[in-house]
Amino acid sequence: MSVTPTDLRARAEGVAGHLPGLILSAERLAAMVAPGAHGLRRAGPGEDFWQYRPAGAGDGARSIDWRRSGRSDSQFVRDREAQTAQSAALWLSRAPGMDFTGGPDRPTKAERGQILTLALGMLMLRGGEKVGLLGQPARAGRIQADRLAEQLATGTAAEDAAPAHALRPNLRVVILSDFLTDPGWVADLLAQAAGLGLSGLLFQILDPDEAHFPYDGAVEFRSGSLRHDSRDAGGLRAAYLARLAERQAWLEGQARRAGWQFGTHLTDADPAQALNWLWQALGQGAR
């Protein structure tokens, strides 16, 4: 079933509604804002921050903020300095296997990934950050949420690997995939990211059937154009689960060595829990 950009955004709003906006550049801003700063104000592209300081002997009457000064016995000047906003790049796998769902009562991995990607982007946009899909321009503002919804809902290219060549300096990167295909691209991406000094998250989305392998008897397994018939699916369970655990351990190790974090999510779980993990993980990386 196709999802319109409007539907996708509405569902993402529901997931993201209870979480505060995430400011990816919190550490940088904390270092830039001097003690005694009274606020942060953004004005779109060419953003700046302002802070009050006591007026000095060299400050003329035109530089005095009389509204602020009227609330005290001292005179204050409002300083403005350039602020460099950090950008975030999000990528969601569009491999054919992402269209899998083990039951009609839960979404496909692609559908859950769309909701989480957009909801996370919306949280960062609310915090004043610039956000875009990996390989696309990162922008700030409410209209960018509409662009993200459009791109996520209409994208048709069967992308199985995140494009490492699209990485740029000063990005924080979030990669969402089932990571069930050849993972060689992950190592390449993380190596490129390390060279640029980038941090980020690897987030694995799986259907519960993929996580627990509840199959028995004769089963035909499908993944895109691939087919495999098994007369004793239960006999494959132990080997499959061992391979899955091995893959997850490899992903976690690759992420840790690159200074990234690795998380997992099942499509029968509350998407708000997944979004909360992503939010907290990015917040930890920003400190």
What is the per-residue pLDDT for 32? Answer: 30
- Residue 117: CB atoms within 10 Å: 24
Q: Domain residues of the chain, as ranges? A: 5-25+85-286, 26-82
∠ Cα 70 76 82 (to 5°): 130
**Domain 5-25+85-286 class in CATH:** alpha beta
What is the per-residue pLDDT for 284? Answer: 54
What is the per-residue pLDDT for 90? Answer: 97
pTM for the whole thing?
0.71
What is the per-residue pLDDT for 42? Answer: 36
What is the per-residue pLDDT for 89? Answer: 97
DSSP state of 155: -
What is the per-residue pLDDT for 45? Answer: 37
With b meaning 16 or more CB within 10 Å and e meaning fewer, what string describes 238-271?
A: eeeeeebeeebeebbebbeebebbbbbbbbbeeb
Q: Which two tokens stand for residue 239?
A: 């080997």
What is the per-residue pLDDT for 49? Answer: 42
Ranges of the chain with pLDDT below 70: 1-2, 14-86, 156-158, 214-236, 284-287
